[in-house]
Amino acid sequence: MALDIPKIQSYLREHNLDGWLLADFHGYNRIAMNFLNVTGHITRRMFYLIPADGEPICLVNPIEGNLYKHLPGQLRPCFGYKKVEAALAEILKGKKRIAMEYSPLGRLPYIGMVDAGTIEMVSEHVAEIVSSADIFAEFEARLSVEQIALHKQAAEKVLLIKNQAFEFVTESLKCKNSITEYDIVRFVLRKFEENNMETDHAPICGVDGNAGNPHYEAIKGESAEIKYGQLLLLDLWAKLKKPKAVFADITWMAFCGKKEEIPQRLSDIFSTVAQARDAAVECLKSNFGKKPLYGADADDACRNVISQTQYARNFTHRTGHSIGIDIHGVGPNIDNLETEDRRILQSGHLFSIEPGIYLDDCGFRTEIDLLMTENGPEITTLPLQTEITALF
């Protein structure tokens, strides 16, 4: 996708920014490199300045000039740290307020991709450096119409594969065949392949106490056997094997038995988690069009439900994460716990809502995907799970 420099410059002027300076060394600023579509053997320092007015300028070592020749603007070969620093001072002359991949106080580390030394160097020439978090949210995290369609196709498939995985558990237990968490993981991965899908990591399948580990990993030869009467958590995410495809990510809870056999304690805890999920959604729906929407506020609404129970200490992660071509996208997260995310949620932003309660003997999570549209928030992974799914 070509950079829309005029649109970026209009955004910079609107927000009283003199420019956006994308800086990298060795590909460490991966969000900038992805945004600029720079690939290959990256080993040298680079600066790409998009001014509010005028032509962009790229300072790059001549050894790697070919990697950046597709970028709009001037390509200025420059080598030797003294010459690079002098050239940087020249292009920043007169600039007072610029954006960089910087996170004040480290509150939003996903965007803090530029090292402190580089920030210090740039600070010698400009009065103020602000975070580029909202710029990425505006120009990188908002999905296109085509990407939204690809996401919804992926959502349909992961929901179907979830059902197939639960049926596999049911049939195995009915036939008294030994089945483990790892077997379910392999089953889901095979279904991804059959549906021309890909993922970045194996799904999470955990029973009872293993479900109480939010990032539990079922390992061959070490995972637990799935038995009748157990609680089961299944978290799966994947996208279509197509360019610019977007992930779908869901978590469902099941009970390996009949509905009437589900212990009341388990039903009650799941109900709390589901209410917390729905509170986050309602926070966004009820405030849409009335005021700016922030992931931090939706996280607060979700967390407030659980904090009023005895399980306040057992909801140990953010409410949700941005979703894009990577399972953890560059857009706003639903978070006011691990980070303070006050990037404005905009049309085209996709993210998960996934509260959880994690105990020693069991764990619960319910996860949906939510898309911001021009008409408000849309759940793209319906149906909602309203109670634990009985497999018999």
Q: Could you give the C-alpha distances from 278 to 95, 266, 307, in angstroms and in order? A: 46, 18, 15
* Residues 210, 340 within the same domain: yes
Q: What is the CATH number of the domain that holds 363?
A: 3.90.230.10
Same-domain check for residues 198 and 265? yes
Same domain, residue pair 171 and 316 = yes
Domain residues for 182? 145-390
Identify whether residues 265 and 154 lie together within a single domain.
yes
Query: Given this model, what pLDDT does residue 65 score?
Result: 93
Do both 212 and 289 map to the same domain?
yes
Domain end call among 72, 104, 139: 139
SS (H, E, C) 132-171: CHHHHHHHCCCCCHHHHHHHHHHHHHHHHHHHHHHHHHHH
CA–CA dist 74, 232 (Å, integer): 57
Do 308 and 372 share a domain, yes or no?
yes
**Number of domains present in the structure of the chain:** 2
Residue 297: both structure tokens together: 């506020």
Tell me, rounded to whole angstroms, the distance of Cα 71 from its chain centroid. 27
- 202 and 336, same domain (yes or no): yes
Residues of the chain with pLDDT under 70: 1-2
Same domain, 352 and 203: yes
Token pair 């949620």: residue: 345
Residues 153 and 98 in one domain: no
Q: What is the CATH number of the domain that holds 34?
A: 3.40.350.10
Q: 39 CB contacts (<8 Å, ≥6 apart)?
A: 33, 67
Please report the sign of the dihedral spanned by the C-alpha atoms of residue 155, residue 159, residue 164, residue 166: positive
* Closest of 190, 258, 206, 160 to residue 364, by C-alpha: 206
Predicted local distance difference test score (pLDDT) of residue 97: 98
Same domain, 206 and 272: yes
> What pTM, to 2 d.p., does this model score?
0.91
Question: What CA–CA distance (Å, rounded) separates 199 from 363?
Answer: 24
Q: What is the pLDDT of residue 162?
A: 98
pLDDT for residue 3: 87
- 118 and 198: one domain? no
pLDDT of residue 293: 97
What does the pLDDT look like over 133-145, one tens digit per residue? 999 999 989 999 9
